[in-house]
A = this chain, B = another copy of it.
Amino acid sequence: MILKIDHLGIAVKDLAEAKRAYEALGLKVQAEHDVPSEKVKTAFITVGESHLELLEPSDPSSVIAKFLEKRSGLHHICLLVDDIEKSMAEMKAAGAQLLDEVPRVGAGGCRVAFIHPKSAAGVLLELKQV
């Protein structure tokens, strides 16, 4: 079952500049993390029950660096689920194309899996189970 929007991933070229921009909008950065496995530096901003996740590549080979070659801004929507294997199986049975066959370990040790944008009207979706 999908519980809520966990976060929105926003690809930025310069994390410090992006933080200043969001702070000018009255949104405060609560936490920053280095995620070497994904080759990104992140800053989290809480908005209601969700977060904005600003993502700056820490290496030119990161997925976010590739995305930024084309554009900056909204990159993915992450949906919190209660049972990731069950959600993945149900989505696959309904014809959705998953980018992960089994969940992988994401930031903070959560299990995550991605859904191809073809199966979500052009949006990259991430599933996450805490």
Q: How many copies does the complex hold?
A: 2
Contact (A8, B87) CB under 8 Å given A2-B26, A22-B120: no
A22 engages B121 (CB within 8 Å): yes
Q: Is the interface of A mostly helix, strand, loop or mixed?
A: mixed
Residues of B within 8 A of A27 (CB): 2
**A1-13 contact mask (Cβ, 8 Å, vs B): 1 or 0:** 1111100101110
A4 and B77 within 8 A (CB): no
A91–B5 CB distance below 8 A? no
Q: Report A61 CB to chain B, min CB distance, Å.
A: 21
Chain B residues within an 8 Å CB radius of A31:
none
1/0 contact string of A73-98 vs chain B (CB within 8 Å)? 11001011000000100110011100
Q: What 7 pairs between A and B have smallest CB-CB spacing?
A: A4-B48, A73-B122, A72-B122, A24-B94, A74-B74, A18-B121, A12-B121
